[in-house]
């Protein structure tokens, strides 16, 4: 029995490859949010600065300094950043941040003119926002609600209650026609972006707050604060993989070809990459703090970030 166990350990060690970062960027202040496309790597920092860099070289193009606001004691503080997103046409940056008296503000920054315009101010607790197209932004609120906001008319197209828990995160599919919403229940709720209608729920394995989501083709990965991770097929509405991580899966992602998935694996902030059949492939080592998010850039490249650094990984 001991010989068999030793053999299995040896096989596992041989199969699992440790990888170091391909590119590693550290910043002088904590990272709040990032956004990127083929041209830009945009980093929102906790000091209220938004750095706009070249994606390939990370050389600085320009920066945005958000206005200061007052905290509850009346002291001036940096404006907290809740969301950053680049418009589909690549011309604008959407910034969702906290304003005075705990309000939420959405700004649109034009890369060409370098001017920023306020388009939405509300007392509602907006938590996450993403472009659907150049004229519409999909927004999630703390109370498990969603909105579709039209930039051109500055009007809310719809507002829907999706659940009865506290919202945690969401992910859009590539076409941005559907979103998966995560909250404190651990249940993944799939909605139509066009009208806000809840289509169905994926549940069973995740029993606690959803802390990471990714939506690729017909697969959804759901990581929850009970250290559980599951991959669901939205066609059959069943889980194809369930596992328990060594640590909280603060970030998780699926490759575009649906052949691999990745997640924060342990307390060392390592990222495990596995095949869709749950076989270990790589252990990515380099982060110094728990992850905020990660995403496959292509089938063999991952971008991940924590409050301390942004890392790009090349899978062999």
Angstrom distance (rounded) from CA 93 to CA 155: 19
Whether the per-residue pLDDT at 16 is higher than 70: the answer is yes
Mean pLDDT of 140-160: 97
Helix/strand number for the chain, H first, E second: 1, 31
How would you classify the pairing of strands 17-19 and 280-284?
Answer: parallel
Q: What confidence score (pLDDT) does residue 7 get?
A: 42
Identify the CA nearest to 140 among candidates 210, 48, 59: 210
Whether the per-residue pLDDT at 223 is higher than 70: the answer is yes
How sure is the predictor about 12, in pLDDT bands with cuts at 50, 70 and 90? very low
C-beta atoms surrounding 153 within 10 Å: 10
Q: What confidence score (pLDDT) does residue 9 get?
A: 44
Q: What confidence score (pLDDT) does residue 50 get?
A: 98
- Residue percentage of the chain with pLDDT more than 70: 95
The answer to whether 308 and 288 are in contact (CB under 8 A) is yes
Q: What confidence score (pLDDT) does residue 74 get?
A: 86
How would you classify the pairing of strands 49-54 and 40-45?
Answer: antiparallel
166's CB contacts (< 8 A; 6+ apart) are 142, 143, 144, 183, 184
Average pLDDT, the chain: 94
82's CB contacts (< 8 A; 6+ apart) are 32, 33, 96, 97, 98, 104, 126, 127, 128, 129
Identify the CA nearest to 234 among candidates 221, 223, 220: 220
Instruction: Give per-residue burial for 244-253: e unless 16+ CB within 10 Å, then b.
Output: ebeebbbbbb
Whether the per-residue pLDDT at 15 is higher than 80: the answer is no
Whether the per-residue pLDDT at 169 is higher than 60: the answer is yes
Tokens of 83: 């969301």
Chain segment 32-78, per-residue pLDDT in tens: 999 999 999 999 999 999 999 999 999 999 999 999 999 888 899 99
Tell me which DSSP letter residue 100 carries: G
Chain segment 257-302, per-residue pLDDT in tens: 999 999 999 999 999 999 999 999 999 999 999 999 999 999 999 9
Tokens of 171: 């992910």
């Amino acid at each position: 029995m001991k010989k068999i166990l030793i053999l299995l350990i040896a096989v596992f060690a041989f199969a699992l490859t440790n990888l170091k970062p391909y590119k590693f960027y550290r910043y002088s202040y904590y990272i709040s949010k990032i956004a990127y496309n083929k041209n830009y790597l945009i980093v929102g920092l906790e000091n209220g600065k938004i750095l706009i860099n070249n994606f390939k070289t990370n050389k600085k193009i320009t920066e945005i300094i958000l206005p200061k606001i007052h905290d509850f004691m009346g002291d001036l503080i940096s404006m907290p950043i809740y969301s950053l997103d680049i418009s589909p046409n690549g011309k604008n940056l959407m910034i969702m941040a906290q304003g005075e008296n705990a309000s939420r503000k959405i700004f649109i920054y034009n890369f060409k003119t370098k001017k920023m315009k306020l388009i939405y101010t509300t007392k509602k607790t907006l938590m996450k926002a993403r472009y659907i197209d150049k004229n519409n932004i999909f927004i999630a609120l703390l109370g498990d609600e969603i909105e579709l906001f039209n930039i051109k008319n500055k009007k809310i197209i719809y507002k829907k209650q999706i659940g009865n828990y506290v919202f945690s995160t969401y992910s859009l599919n590539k076409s941005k026609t559907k979103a998966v919403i995560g909250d404190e229940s651990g249940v993944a709720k799939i909605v139509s972006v066009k009208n806000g209608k809840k289509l169905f729920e994926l549940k069973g394995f995740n029993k606690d707050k959803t802390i990471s989501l990714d939506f690729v083709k017909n697969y959804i990965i759901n990581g929850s604060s009970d250290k559980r991770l599951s991959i669901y097929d939205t066609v059959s509405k069943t889980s194809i993989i369930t596992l328990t991580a060594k640590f909280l899966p603060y970030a998780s992602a699926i490759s575009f070809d649906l052949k691999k998935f990745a997640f924060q694996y342990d307390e060392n902030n390592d990222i495990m990459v596995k095949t869709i059949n749950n076989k270990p492939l790589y252990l990515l080592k380099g982060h110094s703090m728990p992850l905020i998010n990660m995403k496959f850039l292509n089938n063999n490249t991952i971008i991940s970030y924590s409050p301390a650094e942004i890392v790009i990984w090349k899978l062999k």
